[in-house]
Amino acid sequence: MAYDDIGLTCLNEKLKPRCGLEFDGEQLAYDFYNAYGRSMGFSVRKETYGRNKHTNEFTSKVFMCCKESFRVKGKQDDFTIKPRAETRIGCGAHLNIKLDSEKKKIVNHFVDEHNHPLVMSKCAHMLPLMRAAVDT
């Protein structure tokens, strides 16, 4: 989704995640997907990961749209006066990385289909994981 009238144009193909893209570290992959999410209008969170049982070495990681999945049932009690609004709506957008034989992190699965409207670029700084504490 592009908002050309407010300055968000289609991203360069080099900046869009794709299968086979390599990273030197897990944090670099997260930072890349987070920057992509901010430019497109969604927030990213870290989800599941895989580790080798014997060496405890990283094997895979999933970064997803913050609206993926659903809230766990039973978290709210009957006495809640003002329950919080539902924030997770089952969005399927995610990026999956895995460790290859040369110890590089490679994107092996990427889904870019959201089931919710994306935020305009001028409001992206207000997304949940984009808010930064301001030092005064």
| Digit-coded pLDDT (tens) for 77-117 | 667 777 666 666 678 788 888 888 788 888 888 888 877 66
Residue indicated by tokens 């970064």 = 63
CB atoms within 10 A of CB 43: 19
For the chain, give the number of residues: 136
Q: What is the CA radius of gyration of the chain?
A: 17
| Residue pointed to by tokens 């900046």 | 15
In whole angstroms, give the CA distance from residue 119 to residue 122. 8
- pLDDT tens per residue across span 28-80: 888 888 888 877 778 788 877 777 787 877 788 888 887 676 666 666 666 77
One-letter amino acid of 49? Y
φ, ψ at 26 (rounded to 5°) = -65, -40
Please indicate whether residue 135 or residue 82 has the higher confidence score (pLDDT).
Answer: 82
pTM over 0.95: no
Closest by Cα among 135, 134, 133, 114 to 43: 114
Give the full edge-to-edge strand order of the sheet including 22-23: 22-23, 105-111, 94-99, 58-65, 44-51
Residue 127, pLDDT > 80, answer: no
